[in-house]
Amino acid sequence: MSFIVNLLLAVFRALFALLLTLWDGLAALVSLAGTALGAYNAPGGFSKNIGAALLSPANQIRGMALLRAFAPNLVLKRQVVAAYENTGTAVVARGADVRNMLARDADFEVVYGPRMRKLTDGENFFLGMQPGWDYTRDTSAMRLAARTTDVAEIVQPRATELANRIVAESGGTIDLPPALTLQVPWDMTERYFGTGGPDAATMQDWTTTLFWYLFGDLGADPELDAKSMADAAAMRAYLDGAVATAKTRPDDRDTILNRCLALQGAETPGMSDLGIRNNLLGLLIGAIPTISKASCLALDELLRRPDALRQAQAAARADDDAKLAACIWEALRFNPHNPVIYRRATRDTVIAPGTLRGRTIPEGTLVFAATLSAMFDRRDIADPHAFRTDRRFEDYIIWGIGMHTCFGAAINSAVIPAILKPLLIQQNLRRADGTAGQVDTGGTPFPQHFTVAFDPA
Contact (CB, 8 A) for 197 and 238: yes
The answer to whether position 439 is within a domain reads yes
Residue type, 124: N
Provide the residue type at 212 as one letter.
Answer: W
Q: For residue 6, tell me if it sits in a domain.
A: no
pLDDT of residue 135: 86
pLDDT digits 0-9 by tens, 393-422: 999 999 988 878 888 889 999 999 999 999
* Phi, psi dihedral angles at 349 (to 5 degrees): -150, 165
pLDDT value at residue 8: 63
The mean pLDDT of 87-109, rounded to a whole number, is 95
Give residue 3's pLDDT. 65
Give the pLDDT score at 40: 77
DSSP result, 83-122: SS--SEEEEE-SHHHHHHHHH-TTTEE---HHHHHHHHTS
Instruction: Report yes or no on 324 lying in a domain.
Output: yes
pLDDT at 309 over 70: yes
Query: What mean pLDDT is predicted for residues 146-162?
Result: 96
Helix (H, G, I), strand (E, B) or coil at 373: helix
| pLDDT the model gives residue 246 | 96
What pLDDT score does 5 carry?
63
Strand 88-92 to strand 73-76: parallel, antiparallel, or no bridges (unpaired)?
A: antiparallel
pLDDT, position 35: 85
Distance CA 170, CA 166 (A): 6
Please tell me the predicted confidence (pLDDT) of residue 237.
97
Q: Within a domain: residue 31?
A: no
Residue 399's identity, in one-letter code, is W
Angstrom distance (rounded) from CA 189 to CA 238: 14
What's the maximum distance between 2 C-alpha atoms anywhere in the chain? 78
Nearest CA to 194 out of 135, 242, 137, 144 is that of 242
339 within a domain of the structure (yes/no): yes
Residue 375: the pLDDT is 97
- The mean pLDDT of 73-79, rounded to a whole number, is 95
State the residue range of the domain holding 436: 71-455
**Distance between CA 27 and CA 398 in Å, rounded?**
26
At residue 12, does pLDDT exceed 70?
no
The pLDDT-based confidence of 336 (bands split at 50, 70, 90) is: very high
The pLDDT assigned to 10 comes to 60
In a domain, 347, yes or no: yes
* pLDDT above 70 as % of the chain: 97
Q: Please compute the mean of the pLDDT values over residues 39-67 and round it to a whole number.
A: 85
Confidence of residue 128 (pLDDT cuts 50, 70, 90): confident
Q: What is the pLDDT of residue 388?
A: 97
Give the chain's mean pLDDT.
92
pLDDT for res 53:
79
Which residues fall within 8 angstroms of residue 313, CB to CB, at 6 or more apart? Answer: 424, 425, 429
- Tell me how far apart the alpha carbons of residues 191 and 256 are, in angstroms, rounded to a whole number: 9
Q: Domain holding 180: CATH number?
A: 1.10.630.10
* CA-wise closest residue to 293 among 84, 152, 448: 448
Q: What is the pLDDT of residues 171-229, one digit of tens each?
A: 999 999 999 999 999 999 999 999 999 999 999 999 999 999 999 999 999 999 999 99
**pLDDT value, residue 7:** 60
Is 290 in contact with 412 (CB distance < 8 Å)?
Answer: yes
Q: E strands within 383-445?
A: 427-431
Question: pTM (2 decimals)?
Answer: 0.92
Domain count, the chain: 1
Q: Is residue 61 part of a domain?
A: no
285-308 residue pLDDT tens: 999 999 999 999 999 999 999 999
pLDDT at 368 over 70: yes
Would the pLDDT of 54 be above 80? no
First to last CA, the chain: 67
Does pLDDT of 1 surpass 80?
A: no
Residue type, 257: L
Task: Look at residues 334, 293, 383, 386 and name the one whose alpha carbon lies nearest to residue 56.
Answer: 334
Q: What is the pLDDT of residues 372-401, one digit of tens each?
A: 999 999 999 999 999 999 999 999 999 988
Residue 353 in domain: yes
Predicted confidence at residue 389, as pLDDT, reads 96
Residues 95 and 102: their CA atoms lie apart, in Å, by 11
